[in-house]
Structure 1
Amino acid sequence: MVLDLLAGVSIGALKPVTEKVSKALVAKVNSKLNPSDLEKALQGGLLATQESEENLPQDQRLFYRCYPDALPGFLEKFFQETTVQQELQKPLTDAGTPKVEYLVRVFQQVAKEHLKREHTAARLEPWLEVFTQAYLEKTSTYLKFQVAKEDYF
């Protein structure tokens, strides 16, 4: 089953975005994760946001007014912002958890340039909180698995 993400964009359509971002994040930190593990964490975060919005009326979803073909490019720009990458690196370097308020601020700046108010502002912070929590859970799970694997072998 292909799940529609956000504005009718499937997870598969965002794979180039998550792949590129995960490689950049892993390259910047000395992490036990490989890029594909981090890519799965990013995808897990995006999937969690979709699931959190499933029961909302269509017009209350974050990317309700966004054209599906604009979303991957926007998310790529958002995830490549220095502040966003610094925040997403925190769990990989034991520097804490990403600060949602920083992500909100960067999202608003990037959206102003690239989405032209094609998002539902009231859903922004809850959406980023869900994404961040799922991303943290996924990176934590992958890190624990890698440590356990190293200890075992």
Structure 2
Amino acid sequence: MDKSVHPRRACGACSLCCKLLPIAALEKPHDQWCAHCRPGAGGCTIYDSRPQTCRTFSCHWLADPAAGEHWAPLKARMVVQITGGHDAAFDRFVDVHVDRGAADAWRSKPYAADLRRLSADPRTLVRIFQSNRTFVVRPGEVLEVKRA
């Protein structure tokens, strides 16, 4: 497990990242269960040979002790991934992958306030991935990104 994981938190019965995040190495699209995942019945069936993407992933709730308990993925129905910026405009990306069964959870309390707070940093881009829709949270507004 990644050393950045908070020592008092564990995945436990949660496998939501195996559903919500895309995994290119397995040709797994976002918002679909990984063929190798058995949620609630042992987790990953290829754990010892899982792709590097899976080996190094740690959701924000696991990695950051400052992330509130409300961000536990099974409770929030969202998985938050924070990465370094991939272009000159942003130092950090906050990607929120939302379970389709709770599509508007990110718009409700306390999540919306947390996302607005994160978006206040001009070097941070907050993106919401909700089924086939993508939103960007900016100070004072939420913009839907139209896909080509």
Whether these two folds match at TM > 0.5 is no
User: Which structure has greater helix proportion?
Assistant: 1
- TM-score with structure 2 length normalisation? 0.34
User: Which structure has greater strand proportion?
Assistant: 2
- TM-score with structure 1 length normalisation? 0.33
